[in-house]
Amino acid sequence: MFKDEKISKFILENKIEIENIKPLCKHFEKCGGCIFQNISYRTEKEIKLKIAEKNLNFINNLKLTFFESKKRIYYRNRMDYSIVRKDNDILIGLKEYGKWYEVVNLDECYLLSEETSEILKRTKDFIIKNNLEAYDLINKTGNVRYIVIREGKNTKKRLISIIVKESFPIEKYSEEMKDMANSFVLAINDTLADVSFGRIEKYIGETFSEKVLDKEFIIPPFSFFQSNTEMAEIMIKEAKEFLDGKSLADLYCGVGLFGISFAENFEEIIGVEIDKEAIKAAKLNSIINGIKNASFVEAKVEDKIKDIKSDFIVVDPPRAGLSNKVIKGIISNKNIKKILYYSCNIETFARDLKKLSKNFKIHENIKIFDQFPLTKHFELLAFLEREE
């Protein structure tokens, strides 16, 4: 039924009626980018609601509020595409579903923007024309590894980052591609790890930024930012009803999106983030947006949680969720009275809420934001209050 066997099994077990449609993209059968292109949005929504309901059935009087995405295509503000060598050919695209070693060469992609296919085609032509060697995923040889494209959906800016093992003529590339982007980055990843970031060697052009509601955020090339700008705006608006306290600690704060957006509701904001470049950006973002009650600290949340003096915290952890050390720290730190928990992983979200529920009451209204249309993923928001 679906490339994801776990999803197929879930659909059968829950007797979800599938409404099939013709996939938009010709690469759908192989590409791992979006597995729900062959079903209607009504079906996709039902699947996501059922997944959330099954995982969160331990919450008393559970109420799920689903916020649909207005766009089902061209909604992402960042995409990372592999550049590989195979059989004397160069492929640029996404991994084949379930195969880390196979890349689907994309002539089209409906996740980022209409210009994506042109950028990928011209990048491939540039590599060939300049006799550059693409990377071999299996043998770990070669040079050019990834192209990462970030777009400011509201600022209309575009940043193209090229990740290589050794070197790349980024000045020449940026000159040839200047009609496609405002800024360009060359980054080095000379490790064996197949990751789409590296040590920044050169930055050419404007500082990249995105606007969310009435705030503008500088975003470093490889720092985390919500991947769907439209839904990020809704995520911020829908949290406002819960904001009540003197001091807010924004944990895993990234470039300061939540802390800065919520600053007017608190006397003091503190952000904690391990990414050095993100913290630099967060400090700049507070100045750009005229936020005078915020400070940001470069540190692991595990190391700072016991020292938090704030009565209100917002957490937006990576997909792995909150570590046991962080959960224990939240529970033992009696200063913390209220929690806003954002998550893009329903399984770790449910796991962590169960652990926190021994000391915190979970508000029954869980909000779901369809931040990742065409995929099985979605964003969630829960509000918790400490029980005395």
**pLDDT reading at 105 higher than 90:** yes
Reported as type and span, the H/E element at residue 312 is strand 312-315
The pTM (predicted TM-score) of the whole model is 0.95
Confirm if 312 and 245 have CB atoms less than 8 A apart: yes
Q: What percent of the chain has pLDDT over 70?
A: 100
Per residue, the 3-state secondary structure of 17-43, as one string, reads CCCECCCCCCCCCCECCCCCCCECHHH
Confirm if 93 and 119 have CB atoms less than 8 A apart: no
**pLDDT reading at 1 higher than 70:** no
- Catalytic status, residue 25: no
Confirm if 189 and 164 have CB atoms less than 8 A apart: yes
pLDDT tens digit sequence for 270-313 = 999 999 999 999 999 999 999 999 999 999 999 999 999 999 99
Q: What's the confidence (pLDDT) of residue 3?
A: 77
Mean pLDDT of 54-67: 97
Domain spans of the chain, in order of start: 78-207
The identity of residue 6, as a single letter, is: K
Output the average pLDDT for the chain: 96
**Beta strands 89-96 and 312-315, pairing class:** unpaired
Q: What's the confidence (pLDDT) of residue 313?
A: 98
User: What is the Cα–Cα distance from 126 to 208, expressed in whole angstroms?
Assistant: 23
pLDDT tens digit sequence for 75-103 = 999 999 999 999 889 999 999 988 999 99
Reported as type and span, the H/E element at residue 237 is helix 229-237
Mean pLDDT of 10-39: 92
Q: Which CATH number applies to 78-207?
A: 2.40.50.1070
Q: What percent of the chain has pLDDT over 90?
A: 94
Q: What's the confidence (pLDDT) of residue 323?
A: 98
Mean pLDDT of 131-147: 96
pLDDT tens digit sequence for 222-244 = 999 999 999 999 999 999 999 99
Helix (H, G, I), strand (E, B) or coil at 48: helix
